Amino acid sequence: MPKIAVYYFPLKALGEGIRLLLAYGGEEFEDCRITKEEWADVKPTMPFGQMPILEIDGKKYAQSSAIVRYLGRKYGLVGKNIEEDFEIDQNIEFFTDIRTKAGSVFHEQDEKVKASKQAELEKNYYPVALKKLDEIITKNKGHMAIGKLTWADFLFAGMYDCLKTILQMPDLDEKYPSFKKLQETVLAIPKVKAFCDKAPKSPY
């Protein structure tokens, strides 16, 4: 059995999808949650000076998207051909576009600029983008792509609580019930649920 560890902050965000996939795969892994105080010392040991990191038998691998795709292939949570994998990638990259735009505004330090950018997104971008994301999930029977469970669902489920925070939309569950339902579908998988029940709690 390979020795596996996940390094990330004590948050869900970009690390949780990796944890959920490992739980789904029945892997025993060390869940290394690095605090802000520890990060300065840990950072130089990481391939690109960032997290999350998946470590396998002492070798560290970076980039959250690459990690979840690897685990998806490992556990058979992929399409049956390259076109289906293309669709999975397409839809998750659209989701990533939304997340990236939201994150850039959420972390803006200038409050006036932040308010202006948030208002612009709420008026011209979020209504269209979130409606399209809702349509994608509904069309795919409650999944991110190809009408069945894939690694993309785990990425979405792990990121969803953070998404609500950075979108600054506490009523997202009510506006788009398909989002919450997808998250619940993943978290109800027995091995995933067992992991979540024992894992340290984090709001996002």
152-191: pLDDT as tens digits: 999 999 999 999 999 999 999 999 999 999 999 999 999 9
| Residue-level pLDDT at 1 | 83
Euclidean distance between CA atoms 122 and 147, whole angstroms: 29
Domain membership flag for residue 140: yes
Domain membership flag for residue 97: yes
pTM, to two decimals: 0.96
- Are 8 and 200 in contact by the 8 Å Cβ rule? The answer is no
Mean pLDDT, consecutive 10-residue segments, the chain of 204 residues? 95 98 98 97 96 98 98 98 98 98 97 98 98 99 99 98 95 97 99 97 90
- The whole domain housing 150 covers 82-187
Same domain, 65 and 92: no
| Residue-level pLDDT at 186 | 99
Same domain, 48 and 102: no
Same domain, 87 and 183: yes
For residue 122, what is the domain's CATH number?
1.20.1050.10
Q: Per the structure, how many domains does the chain have?
A: 2
